[in-house]
Structure 1
Amino acid sequence: MSLNNDKVRATSHELLQAQAHVWNHIFQFINSMSLKCEVQLGIPDVIHNHGQPTSLSNLISSLNVHPSKAHFIARLMRILVHSNFFAQDQQDLDDEAEEKAVVVYSLTPASRLLLKEGPLSTRQFLLMNLDPVLIDPFHLMGTWCQMNNNGNHDQPASPFEMAHGRSFWGLAAQQPKLGSLFNDAMEADSQLLARAVVEECEGVFEGLNSLVDVGGGTETMAKNIAKAFPNINCTVFDQPHVIANLQGTDNLDFVGGDMFEKIPPANAIFLKWILHDWSDDESVKILKKSREAIRSKKGGKVIILDINVSADNKKMDKKSIETQLMWDMLMMVHLNGKERNEAEWEKLFWTAGFSHYKITHTLGLRSLIEVYP
């Protein structure tokens, strides 16, 4: 009887653990929305501007919240502290009557990335991805998966298209707000990544005298490369309306066009976070145009900055791999694109006519891939 009871207790424990696991995933969106609320209220900026750890009362007095909602801020801060977006400590206060200790909050590296005026802010990136326009399509994943899209061009190519009646790019062109959010988010990401690329991957640019940043947006990545390597003539290649009114420098220029038609010639073609937006067939087309654009087949190359799923499991923790897989779902829902593992990358390269490649895992969740004709 005791053995049976032990078995029942063990099974009950497993069920409760499983329930907690399910609940945790059901409520993951609360972490995201709490983070969005933090940014909307400007909590990181208030703490940063205070110049030292901030008490709850000082924080509330500096926020634009209604007095009737002030008591909710402590609960919001509790979950944000648990998620490591703020650090919490006790601070002793000298008081004539008695010594008092109050809870104070300070920034962490993560919350510093959410400062409105921070040099490496990911605030715009957060606001874009948590906008209802991008969240709503996820509610349609199940219905979309049940639809037959083979050869039927009348069916939506993605849950995003199903939700909004047009592709992400089509809606971004129609709605300036979405287009602006996207451009600001990509610029913010490039600010953060550009420094890492220049510092960690300097050897990748040795021997080059020209580089085309395909889909380079508002110049952030190319500008940093041009500044770090003045001997390289850099060209930002993007749609004409994206680069309109942008002024070049001595070794930085702008060219408008369509990467599916023709890419300007250079020693190196740079593709930062481009190919994951597109299907395999479309990615092969981009890679073929990139190969055609390489001036010197000897020494020329395509430089790709993108996710390589589960790259080097010994160095990448389970949480980071989960983030990569979340990105893959994001690409599926919004763009009909995908994140790829090395075997999938290799297939693209061979199909596009390249001879060999090299992958460097030094950029966090993303890898740098050099592909040669």
Structure 2
Amino acid sequence: MQFFKSIVFLCAFSVSVSANQKNEYDVSSFQDAANKAVEKAKENGWLKDIDKPTIQEKDIALAKSIADQAVVISSETMKRALPQQQNKIDLLEGTDGAIFVSFSMPRRALIDAFQVAKEHNLTILFRGLEKGATHISSTMKLIQKLSAISKVEPNVGINPLRFKEFNVTGVPTIVIRNGNKHLIAQGTLNAQYAKEQFDQKQGDFKFEPLGQLFNIDEPDIIEQMKAVAGKIDWAEKQRLAKERFWKKYKTYPLPTSDESKQWLIDTTVRVTQDIKNGRGEILARAGDITNPLKQYPMHLTIFVIDPYVKSQVDWVKEELKSISGQFQIHLTHMDKDKGWDDLSKFRNEFGAPVFILPKQVIEKFKVEATPSKIETQSNGYLLVRQFDWSEK
């Protein structure tokens, strides 16, 4: 049997990784991952209007929730986890309980624990990565060796919250569980005895230590996560993300128009598949040729301007005084060094939302220069007008 081919680290999602592949869950590299996450969040606008991000109680709760998904470190456990990987994984589900262990235990005792767990349908649980480890791969190798020597592959995982739930402070400890009832047997690997006592006892029961207990060497993986997160300067990461955003953001500056011209865009389309509303009613059938602006009339005006040409900004402000219906203001670009400040300034100046001109608008409406104005027409067409700005 080839043991431990894969691992799964379950956060908001589940990922399986071959034991021969690089594992991405390096505790020491959480900070780098966080940096990238903050930068990506800024690019997507998720950090908009957040001035002083700090770690809140809800963040700690999230970390606990993530850890409670557990780290699954045996392929046998993975087989059980994958069908339900979109949900919260309970490593004790479908088992009779768990054996709580630590690498502080003698190797012989760990081997016995693996064999007992497999025989009695129990999950092996560690509190975290082995002492001094910063990468799960080293823990994986130790587990793989134990499994190979014991010639069994029980369910194995890391879940510090279970240690807290059953107040496990020394190992080995067996927990037999069925529904809301549980029995805790410390200092023993005699699962048969624990199960017999479980059947005889009424309600929850905890034995005094039945044998030698060993300290738990592995640090709580949740505490490791919190410690690393606590060292991250989120305000600085946000500042850097802000600085980088506009340098990476693709914009499409257009020349200033030197002629006035206009053209029409036909919005007629052929429907490729049935279009239904929320009630299931068919609005258009596949093969139909329809003009959505005729069928569902609306009045929309789109202004496309260079925000750094003051006369174009003034022109839009004057146009807005008499406009009717919906409107949008598209800015061709932002100063790469002052992007956020300038965007805020233009929003305040127009007193309305503004957008950075997307490539799709340029291509669909054949926009060539600024300023331009795009308006829906009652006949189902879009009228695009480009204004001569050479004398402005």
What is the TM-score when the length of structure 1 is the normalising length? 0.18
Give the structure with the higher percent helix.
1
TM-score (norm 2): 0.17
Larger relative contact order (Cα-Cα within 8 Å, sequence gap ≥ 6): 2
